[in-house]
Structure 1
Amino acid sequence: MPSESRVRPPGGPLPGPHAALRAGVVWSVLREALRRRAEAAGRQSLDVLDTGGGSGSFAVPVAGLGHRVTVVDPSPDALFALERRAAEEAVGDRVTGVQGDTSDLLEVAGRDRYDLVLCHGVLEHVDDPAAALAAVTGALRRAGGTLSLLAAGAGGAVLSRALAGRFTEARRVLGDPAGRWGAADPVPHRFTVAGLRDLVAGAGLVPGEVHGIRIFADLVPGSLVDTEPDALQALTRLEAEAAGQPAFQAIAGQLHLLAELPGDL
């Protein structure tokens, strides 16, 4: 995940205007998912796993809500930044960083231990998304667990390539099962809503809410957001209102999906 230099007070949005714009919908959905899971578990403090959590752009605010968070990331530098950020926000006692990735996730983080697992920006970069998701699912508590999944959207790549005048590449995304625009594409996998739901169901989870993320944010010139009065606030509201509509999910840069273990809805 991209790293911000600081976080806002616990419970607040993620920092920085562009970071808040891109992550605002996810953060809003995630806070509500944490509330529901805590209510179902009968506990105020949950055990949360953030796989690929980097320097803690989600983990530290989640810890700020009173939850215990374990971050698994392959980068020692990111984990060092996580430790520093958690200390700065006075949540160091509730955040634990562990080096690893989805291939050894259950060995380093444990099986059947977490009330909620974040898998944000991971599946598009692994060789085998189904295997990675199976490992992530194994970390959830069998007694009841929630998955928060954020992955690259194929429709957003089609739109962005077309708007850049790369029409052949846009057509390739449409026809490629992995949602790639060519051999030089740095993203190994992108997903449609249906494909992501199928992947989640194949891991033994019941897919729930889907939201489109970065529907407009990556298309609007940054100079417009920075210079026009109230433009950022208006664009943020537009993103939030469009996020739940299937027509706009189909062209989103990212897709956010919540899923539960069977019998836990």
Structure 2
Amino acid sequence: MSRPSASIRTAVVWEVLRGALDHRAKLADRDRLDVLDTGGGTGNFAVPVARLGHHVTVVDPSPNALFALERRAAEAGVADRVRGVQGDARGLFDVAERGGYDAVLCHGVLEHVDDPAEGVRNAVAALRTGGGTLSVLASGLGGAVLGRALAGHFTEARQALTSEGGRWGANDPMPRRFTPEQLTGLVTGSGLEVVSVHGVRVFADLVPGALVDTEPDALEALARLEAAAAELPAFQSVASQLHVLAEVPPVTAAGPR
């Protein structure tokens, strides 16, 4: 079964991220931010962020992905604002500057690392101590359970629901999934303040692409539905992905709040 386009599936994250970067730029009183995209791959977010005028460093373990990123940035006319380096979350500071970034994107990383808490701590350590924004995007447990159940794989749905990592079986390509509480706990445990939590792909992974293609205005209506449901906890719990936006707490005369 085909799915709705990728733009619909990432629209909620992009709108939140764009607003957060605008806000961070105003706080920093600078038009250009330094952004770190860990696991940024081929530049799904890095290139649009660079189009906003920011400088983006992409860290990814795949040389093929980084080659595609370079080509994509060149085609978009932002090659001078995108830099790709080979590395991973665990050895982040072998290739990235500690405390050197206004914003860090940690999208599709925590599912694959051995220690998600360490992955978040490294992302936070890359932020400027005077203020920074963290964007975390990870696979949601509820969406996987619902998806397997609706496909008629009830035993696999129960396995995902009850297993420690949220996997539905040995052939599950996703190493780990999170509940909203688990993901926000990782972020707050690193010392950041959560600004917002959004459910991503609540409906987009369940709606047949043919339905969206044939019904007039269906794509726009689906996008509005996703946006309306994204902030509601009831729908976050069954989203395919979870997005957490967080910030470094402000420092007062008495110390961090």
CA distance in 2, matches of 1:113, 1:258: 19
Instruction: Report the CA distance between 1:220 and its aligned residue.
Output: 0.5
Query: Could you give the per-residue CA deviations for residues 7-40 of structure 1, whole angstroms, max 9, x where no partner exists?
Result: xxxxxxxxxx611110101010000000111111
Mapped pair 1:33 → 2:20: yes
Give the count of matched residue pairs.
250
Instruction: Report the CA distance between 1:130 and its aligned residue.
Output: 1.1
Within 5 A, what are the aligned runs for 1:151-170?
151-170=138-157
Query: What letter corresponds to residue 209 of structure 2 in structure 1?
Result: G
Secondary structure at 1:174's aligned position in 2?
Answer: helix
Residue 181 (structure 1) aligned to one of 163, 168, 172: 168
Query: Could you give the per-residue CA deviations for residues 128-166 of structure 1, whole angstroms, max 9, x where no partner exists?
Result: 111111111111111111100000000001100110111
Query: What letter corresponds to residue 47 of structure 2 in structure 1?
Result: V
Within 5 A, what are the aligned runs for 1:108-127?
108-127=95-114
CA distance in 1, matches of 2:110, 2:5: 23
- Runs of at least 5 residues in structure 1 that lack an aligned partner in the other structure: 1-16
Instruction: Report the CA distance between 1:184 and its aligned residue.
Output: 2.4
Instruction: Report the CA distance between 1:92 and its aligned residue.
Output: 0.9
Mapped pair 1:148 → 2:123: no
TM-score for the superposition, normalised by structure 2: 0.94
- Runs of at least 5 residues in structure 2 that lack an aligned partner in the other structure: 252-256
Residue 65 (structure 2) aligned to one of 61, 71, 78: 78
8 A contact 1:127–1:188 mirrored in 2: no
Mapped pair 1:252 → 2:224: no
The aligned residue for residue 182 of structure 2 is 195
Secondary structure at 1:72's aligned position in 2?
Answer: strand
8 A contact 1:50–1:118 mirrored in 2: yes
Higher relative contact order (CA 8 A, sep 6+): 2
CA distance in 1, matches of 2:190, 2:165: 18
Query: What letter corresponds to residue 117 of structure 2 in structure 1?
Result: A
Over the aligned positions, Cα root-mean-square deviation in angstroms equals 1.5
Within 5 A, what are the aligned runs for 1:50-89?
50-89=37-76
Identity percentage of aligned residues: 67
TM-score for the superposition, normalised by structure 1: 0.91
Residue 230 (structure 2) aligned to one of 239, 243, 260: 243
CA distance in 2, matches of 1:175, 1:89: 44
After the TM superposition, which of the residue ranges 177-186 and 219-228 deviates more from structure 2? 177-186
8 A contact 2:193–2:246 mirrored in 1: yes
Secondary structure at 2:220's aligned position in 1?
Answer: helix
8 A contact 2:130–2:250 mirrored in 1: no
Secondary structure at 1:177's aligned position in 2?
Answer: coil
CA distance in 2, matches of 1:226, 1:122: 31
Query: What letter corresponds to residue 165 of structure 2 in structure 1?
Result: A
